[in-house]
Chains A and B, each alone.
Chain A
Amino acid sequence: MTSATAETTDTVTPKTSGRPSGTGMAIWRAIRGNGKALAGAILLFIFVVAAIFPQLFTSVTNANDRAYALSLPPSAEHPLGTTSYGQDIWAQLVWGTRETLVVAVVAGALASILSVLIGVAAAYLGGTADDLLSLLIDVFLVIPAFPLIIVIAAYANGGNLAIIIVVLVITGWSYGARQLRAQALSLRRRDFLESARVRGEGWFYIVIFEMLPTMVSLIAANFLGAALYAVLTAAGLQFIGLGSPSSQSWGTMLHWAQSAEALQTGQEWWVIAPGLCIALLGAAFALLNYAFDEISNPALRPVRRNRRNRVSK
């Protein structure tokens, strides 16, 4: 039993006032109209500003400086107090935004690019090429991140940012590749692609200029998912000490807070603040991800409706 919806197959969709002048405008309007998207966008915006202009939020120029008294509680001068090493927690938080965000965006973007290339190529080429690439995707899907970086870190004698990003990309691309391959497969038989083939376009042009533009929302959602994965996993890796000890990021803060037993010594903010920020950044990506789903698939949009009335006479 299908739900009855009015077909508009041969009616012209009325033009909404103020047509988007480009995809940028369209995205902005879509975000503005969706509650989840707006919340996510605002959060992300705050973090981005903090990453680019940390000076706006704190006067401290080097957050790792052990310049202050140890283990102070929150006060006007130190909004979140200081660490056991005399560092300002709030400053660390603000300055840590940059590295955390960089990891998220770079790892997310690289993983997405890899997903797109391999997933879409597999779908378009078909046949043995598809079989081989799918095998590749499945193999990478099951490689676990943590043991992998432990092995790599052992070889590299300690982890650093670049290694973390590499590991995140290696372990994070395959999930998206499966999704993109599935969508590209469903697109293969669409008439506009056959029309391009019959027109005489080369396969490279078809994949890049005809297929990918129709998959933009899935690719964007993919990026957000990969970024979310990167944030959480990077934090986890740094927390267990596999990151560089001198790096400024929230995960490293958690690591030091843990080794200094912050919760037991009454320095809750040292733990709560970075943890909360990780969660908020992750939530920002997740909210935007939901919103992209809803924007690209109208069937998922929540509809505000009255409770069903039974008509009785």
Chain B
Amino acid sequence: MSVSNAKASATASESATPSDGSSGAPLLEVRGLSVVYETSSGTVTAVDNVDLTVHRGEFVAVVGESGCGKSTMLFGIAQLLMSPARISSGEVIFRGDNLVTMNDKELAPVRWRNLSVVMQSAMNALNPVRRIGAQYADTMKAHGVKSKATIRARSEEVLALVGIDKIHLESYPHQLSGGMRQRAMIAMALLFAPELIIMDEPTSALDVVAQRSLMLQIKELQQQLGFAVLFVTHDMSLVSHFSDRLLVMYAAQEVEFGETRTVFDDPKHPYSEGLLDAFPSIRGPKVPLVGIPGSPPALSAMPTGCRFEPRCPLAYADCKVVEPELYKVDDVLARCLLYSPDHRPKEHAGPIDPTAKESEL
């Protein structure tokens, strides 16, 4: 009995059939997701009302700096939050089912078969005292695959997919180099040929050449096997050539979401623009750069109005009091008052006259 048969029989035994028949409907739809956690000084919102969609075979990247909530959001989507963090509102619709309302028993068939996770550091996620092959076997046994032959065959298959010699099934994680360990993690995520793989900064512990190699590998596998990827990173330039759509997060909020090329060539939100400008280029003229002065607000002490206002070069009076929504600008969503229907479009803006509009306050 092959692995895919095992998966099919498992899904057939579920009472509810996923209702995402058409290829047009998104594979993953996150609506209004908020994650809070309790501290001794009150409730802190780590993820504030995030919407995103991932279609079949798509590569969506989530970028942001430390503390913006991107990893927390990822854990929230994967239903891996542990107290004191919890999802306070929102839905995570995966293949038609809302994962947030499902308990562990209902989630079990989904986990790893349809949705798998690659962690940031393989040394944290792989058991250091068990061989790689044994860990793959554990995973498969946990999902009902009993035949040793099937387990062996599939393990060798996934290792071949990531370019690791099958002899390493007998190796311990510390015997592999950093890049190989990450690829072994990815291979593990592929065991059941899931439709969506969620990756939390899988390349940040690697050197630049190994990073590039891993990204290329992921992209190749994606084209070969057709899975979708939700990829979290702090390094925007890393995903610039690989992602289809890009979501930028700042201070627990989504501030820009659109096609990667569009966001890179014409960023709408001042934060995205500042972030892009903070990467010195290798080719082309050397220009002095400024970065973004200041630091992100502490999650427990959010300013009123727009959260980026204290650091924004284009801020004006309204920004301190009005909280911007996600506005649609061309094909992109941007959370900036410059694009709210009451204001002039950015392209036409000279210096924005703060007295020109007495908008609702």
Which chain A residues have a beta carbon within 8 Å of chain B's beta carbons? 1-14, 301, 303-306, 308-313
Tell which of A2, A5, A8 touches B298, judged by Cβ atoms closer than 8 Å: A8
Q: How far is the CA of A3 from the CA of B75 in the complex (A)?
A: 9
Determine if B147 is an interface residue (Cβ-Cβ < 8 Å): no
A6 touches B72 (CB 8 A): yes
Interface centre among A3, A12, A312 (most CB of B within 10 A): A3
CB nearest to A3 among chain B residues: B82
| B73: nearest chain-A partner, CB-CB | A4
> B5: CB under 8 A from chain A?
no
* Bound CA span A152–B188, Å: 64
Number of interface residues of B (CB under 8 A): 40
Interface pair A9/B84, CB less than 8 Å apart: no
Chain A residues within an 8 Å CB radius of B44: 6
- Inter-subunit contact A303/B84 (CB<8 Å): yes
Contacts of B39 in A (CB 8 A): 303
Query: Are A312's CB and B101's CB within 8 A?
Result: yes
A119 shortest CB reach to chain B, Å: 28
Residue of A nearest to B86 (CB): A308
- The binding surface of chain A is classed by DSSP as loop
**CB-based contact A311/B40 at 8 Å:** no
A2 touching B124 in the complex, CB below 8 Å, given contacts A9-B67, A313-B98: yes
Distance, CA A308 to CA B103, complexed state (A): 12
Q: A310-B101, A311-B88 are in contact. Are A10 and B67 (CB under 8 A)?
A: yes
**B83 in contact with A308 (CB, 8 Å):** yes
Residues B86 and A7 in contact, CB atoms below 8 Å apart = no
CB within 8 A of A5: which of B37, B65, B124? B37
| Contact pattern, B 67-82, Cβ under 8 Å of A = 1, otherwise 0 | 1010110011000111
Report the minimal beta-carbon distance from B154 to chain A, rounded to whole angstroms. Answer: 23
- Nearest CB to that of A313 among chain B residues? B91
Q: Is the CB of B91 within 8 A of A4?
A: no
Scan residues 11-62 of chain B and give those whose CB is less than 8 A from a CB of chain A.
35, 37-40, 44, 46
Nearest chain-A residue to B252 (Cβ)?
A6
A67 to chain B, nearest CB (A): 54
Q: Please state if B38 and A311 are interface contacts (CB–CB under 8 Å).
A: no
Q: Check A4 against B75 for contact (C-beta < 8 Å).
A: yes
Docked complex Cα distance between A6 and B34 (Å): 13
The verdict on B85 contacting chain A, using a C-beta distance below 8 Å, is: yes
Determine the distance from Cα of A301 to Cα of B101 in the docked complex, in whole angstroms: 29
Determine which of B38, B67, B83, B87 lies in contact with A8 in the assembled complex, contact meaning CB atoms within 8 Å: B67
Complex Cα gap A288–B297 (Å): 35
Given known A-B contacts A2-B124, A4-B76, A4-B81, A311 and B90 have beta carbons under 8 A apart:
yes
Apart from A6-B37, A10-B66, A303-B38, what 18 extra A-B contacts exist at CB < 8 Å? A2-B124, A3-B83, A3-B84, A4-B46, A6-B46, A6-B252, A7-B66, A9-B67, A10-B67, A10-B295, A11-B295, A11-B297, A14-B298, A306-B38, A310-B103, A311-B90, A311-B100, A312-B100
